[in-house]
Structure 1
Amino acid sequence: MAMAVTAPTASTMSIASVTLEVADPDAAHRFYTAFGVDTRLRLRASEAPSTGFRGFTLALTVSGPATVDGFLGAAVEAGATVVKPAAKSLWGYGGVVQAPDGTIWKVATSAKKDTGPATGEIDEIVLLLGVGDVKAAKRFYVGRGLTVARSFGGKYAEFASDESSPVKLALYKRSGLAKDLGVPADGAGSHRIVLGSTAGPFTDPDGFAWETAA
């Protein structure tokens, strides 16, 4: 598998906001507050049809297994459904849940053992977009001004982000992302996510919508 690494440099575009479109914003706000990510997201009402896998996941990276369990437990207690129970893997420890609004969340750590108590702190949030062609999508976003931080052939690409961005953006082949999450890859309709950027509005080749952040 080919691997190319590009050092992060200043980009001309960054993610300024992440908006989830939900049927009930008040209920979603209660859930995300209990989950501990309410300050990283925006919510707005939408009845746009959406079935099956919406093509993306939001992933929390945290310090250790106890913190993973804490976030997953809070999510389930607030109404999330377990998609993949927390377990050790080759890469660390993690699990997957689906929020009541349909958004799939992964919580993971590279650590396989705890070195201290659960912290309740998020090290990083990564938005993984499931795309049909990682190389083509990467070229599209580079053309929009993003800088590639890491790239693994046609399987994965991650972009550099600045401190003001609420999340880091990455691309994953849609079928591979669905397999990693433990869900069928089929899905249709709205992605139910809109990204705000420092650039003008546009839609990427896989139908993910961006708008100018207020």
Structure 2
Amino acid sequence: MTTTAVTTSLETVTLEVSDPEAARLFYAAFGVDAHIRLRASEEVPSTGFRGFTLALTVSGPATVDGFLGAAVDAGAEVLKPAAKSLWGYGGVVRAPDGTIWKVATSAKKDTGPATREIDEFVLLLGVEDVKATKQFYVEQGLTVAKSFGGKYAEFAPGETTSTGTGPVKLALYKRRGLAKDLGVADDGSGSHRIVLGGARGPFTDLDGFVWETAEQ
């Protein structure tokens, strides 16, 4: 009898929010409600930068503007207005519940009309030691897809999430560098207000990010 190995991956992202109904309406208007889960928080204190961002990779600048505009119209705060950079075009907003979102594209010019399609859904964790945290996740069964020394690492995503959407990509970035990229101070304490789901769990990583066994 042959046993097929299953690659461990990030399957679900749950945000802990103080007002789930208000958050549901915001994320529906933003256009990302199919990619996340919401849970009422237990009011664990949380201040400053929560140590992560959720990022959307899309096809072109017009699509970036569409997502960011929808978020702002629904109540998001602009942290970085959309602009061209060395790597493409993108901007950063903070949702009313405090979660920071980045929307970007590698394209600097549109090759078609704006869409509401998301090419990649990425969770970036800001960590103190990328090498140590990468090794921790390898020991949990995740597979490294890219690694750039002690600055950045990303893991191979699964095929689909349990919600039926595209795969969730997990990546690691130095906390200070991630905060700088998002336009916020890197200090913060308390709950991350996010729970991750995968085939293996529960466990807590080196920076306090909590994992649960994802519901099928």
Deviation track 1:3-29 (CA, whole Å, cap 9, x = no partner) reads xxxxxxx75312121100000000000
Asked whether the equivalents of residues 11 and 147 of structure 1 are also in contact (C-alpha less than 8 Å), the reply is no
Q: Equivalent pairs: percent with the same residue?
A: 80
Aligned to 1:25: 20
Asked whether the equivalents of residues 133 and 173 of structure 1 are also in contact (C-alpha less than 8 Å), the reply is yes
Aligned to 2:195: 194
Q: CA deviation at 1:154?
A: 0.4
Aligned to 1:204: 205
Q: CA deviation at 1:118?
A: 0.2
Aligned to 2:34: 39
Asked whether the equivalents of residues 155 and 170 of structure 2 are also in contact (C-alpha less than 8 Å), the reply is yes
Does residue 141 of the first structure (1) align with residue 132 of the second (2)? no
Aligned to 2:184: 183
Asked whether the equivalents of residues 88 and 94 of structure 1 are also in contact (C-alpha less than 8 Å), the reply is yes
Looking at structure 2, the residues matched to 200 and 175 of structure 1 have their Cα atoms a distance apart, in angstroms, of 28
Task: For 1:173, give the aligned amino acid.
Answer: K
C-alpha distance 137-113 of structure 1, shift in aligned 2 (>3 A): same
Looking at structure 1, the residues matched to 11 and 32 of structure 2 have their Cα atoms a distance apart, in angstroms, of 16
RMSD, aligned CA? 0.9
Among 47, 52, 66, the alignment partner of 2:48 is: 52
How does 1:51-200 map onto structure 2 within 5 Å? 51-165=47-161, 166-200=167-201
Looking at structure 2, the residues matched to 154 and 130 of structure 1 have their Cα atoms a distance apart, in angstroms, of 12
Aligned residues: 205
Deviation track 1:111-147 (CA, whole Å, cap 9, x = no partner) reads 0001111011100111000000000000000000000
Looking at structure 1, the residues matched to 158 and 209 of structure 2 have their Cα atoms a distance apart, in angstroms, of 21
Asked whether the equivalents of residues 7 and 158 of structure 2 are also in contact (C-alpha less than 8 Å), the reply is no
Deviation track 1:138-182 (CA, whole Å, cap 9, x = no partner) reads 000000000000001100000001221341000000000000000
Task: For 2:214, give the aligned amino acid.
Answer: A
Deviation track 1:12-58 (CA, whole Å, cap 9, x = no partner) reads 31212110000000000000000001011100001111100000000
Q: After the TM superposition, which parts of structure 1 deviate over 2 Å for at least 4 consecutive aligned residues?
A: none
| TM-score, normalised by the number of residues in structure 1 | 0.94
Looking at structure 2, the residues matched to 31 and 149 of structure 1 have their Cα atoms a distance apart, in angstroms, of 33
Deviation track 1:89-112 (CA, whole Å, cap 9, x = no partner) reads 000000000000000000000000
Runs (5+) with no aligned partner, structure 1: 1-9
Task: For 1:144, give the aligned amino acid.
Answer: Q
Looking at structure 1, the residues matched to 39 and 158 of structure 2 have their Cα atoms a distance apart, in angstroms, of 25
Looking at structure 2, the residues matched to 78 and 116 of structure 1 have their Cα atoms a distance apart, in angstroms, of 26
Q: CA deviation at 1:200?
A: 2.0
Runs (5+) with no aligned partner, structure 2: 162-166
